[in-house]
Amino acid sequence: MKFLISTFTASIIFASSTFVCADEIQGNPQNGEQKISMCIGCHGIAGYQASFPQVYKVPKIAGQGAKYIASALNAYKKGDRRHPTMHGIAVSMTDQDIADVAAYYSLLGKDEGLKLSDDPSVAQPEVAALIQKGACTSCHGSNFNKPLDPSYPKIAGQNWDYLFVALKSYKLGIQPSWGRNNAVMSGVAKQFSNDELKMLAQYVGSQQGEIKTVAQSKFR
Ligand code: HEC
Ligand code: HEC
């Protein structure tokens, strides 16, 4: 634990000068730490289950890219992602809050020593064909952990049941209380049946990645 905290502090010093979030608002991870009391009840509990629109584990957000975290929060705020709880939370945050919290979570639990292979583990031919059809690695990276653009998510090792819900949400588009509107991912998800989306989610979720859930009561 000592090691974790000291590398975390070191990364804060390094990062506070380098992070620029959407709209050029500089995120400050130390300020972000003061603003996460609303988040830890769900994202700070490993295996915490959400029950809407179906039962699945809430996404891992520690170690996710800051720019993507900010972009996701803005999508819940504006309604491009429909989710009543996350909408309620996001509308209560200012642009500065979003940038600070995004900077904080992007560094949380960072393991400087982690070395990930550039290649994902071999997929069954059936799954490999789906990945090729969707060109997933061209945007999410060869190992699903090196997005082409910092506003794209790292998806390797994400809870597979959450990935499945996310993919179905893009396929469905915007509904009154759920669904996602994203030009890129809607086009991708619509090419697949729900069974195929499930296979993709299970495979990507089984890969090693940087994102994780950090039990946050320990940090407070
Ligand atoms: C009541 C539980 C709950 C609370 C509290 C909560 N979240 Fe969430 N969060 C969720 C769920 C469930 C989702 C997935 C929603 C969906 O299907 O799009 C989510 C999604 C997200 C995502 C998108 C992740 C991704 O991979 O796209 C981010 C970022 C996020 N939350 C950040 C936060 C932050 C920051 C806070 C605190 C300010 C917070 N959440 C508070 C339950 C919660
Ligand atoms: C052209 C680029 C591109 C391609 C190809 C692509 N993605 Fe994405 N993906 C994105 C972007 C951008 C987002 C973020 C969208 C948003 O803001 O909601 C995303 C989001 C996702 C999410 C939601 C992650 C989360 O944390 O909520 C999943 C799951 C996903 N992609 C899986 C896939 C899979 C599986 C494939 C291949 C079948 C694929 N993507 C192909 C760009 C791409």
Asked if residue 207 lies in contact with residue 157, where contact means CB atoms within 8 angstroms, the answer is yes
pLDDT at position 219, please? 52
| Residue pLDDT, tens place only, 61-91 | 999 999 999 999 999 999 999 999 999 999 9
Mean per-residue pLDDT of the chain: 89
The token duo for 41 is 């009840």
CA distance 106 to 143: 19
Rounded to whole angstroms, what are the CA distances from 29 to 83, 95, 108? 26, 14, 9
CA distance 52 to 144: 26
pLDDT at position 53, please? 85
pLDDT at position 105, please? 98
User: 59: left (phi > 0), else alpha (psi -120 to 50), else beta?
Assistant: beta
pLDDT at position 7, please? 44
| Centre of ligand 2 from the C-alpha of residue 182, in Å | 9
The token duo for 174 is 């915007």
What residue ranges line ligand 1, CB within 6 angstroms?
A: 36, 38-39, 41-43, 50, 58-59, 61, 69, 72-73, 81, 83, 85-86, 89, 101, 153, 165
The token duo for 151 is 């506003």
Q: Looking at the CA of 66, which ligand is closest?
A: 1
CA distance 36 to 52: 22
pLDDT at position 152, please? 98
Q: Which of these ranges, 7-21, 134-148, 191-205, has the smallest mean pLDDT?
A: 7-21
Q: CB of 165 closer than 6 A to ligand 2?
A: no
| Residue pLDDT, tens place only, 130-170 | 999 999 999 999 999 999 999 999 999 999 999 999 999 99
Number of Cβ within 10 Å of residue 173's Cβ equals 14
pLDDT at position 54, please? 87
Q: Of ligand 2's atoms, which has the minimum distance to the CA of residue 81?
A: 18
In this predicted structure, the answer to whether residue 180 has a pLDDT above a threshold of 60 is yes
Percent of the chain with pLDDT over 70: 88
Q: Which of these ranges, 6-15, 117-126, 137-146, has the smallest mean pLDDT?
A: 6-15
Mean per-residue pLDDT for 2-30?
A: 56
What is the best residue among 60, 86, 87, 97 to mutate for testing ligand 1's pocket, by most ligand atoms within 8 Å of CB? 86
Higher confidence at residue 122 or residue 200?
200
Q: How big is the chain, counted in residues?
A: 220
| Radius of gyration in angstroms for the set of CA atoms belonging to the chain, rounded to a whole number | 17
In this predicted structure, the answer to whether residue 220 has a pLDDT above a threshold of 60 is no
In this predicted structure, the answer to whether residue 38 has a pLDDT above a threshold of 60 is yes
Q: CB of 183 closer than 6 A to ligand 2?
A: no
pLDDT at position 84, please? 94
pLDDT at position 23, please? 54
pLDDT at position 143, please? 95
pLDDT at position 172, please? 96
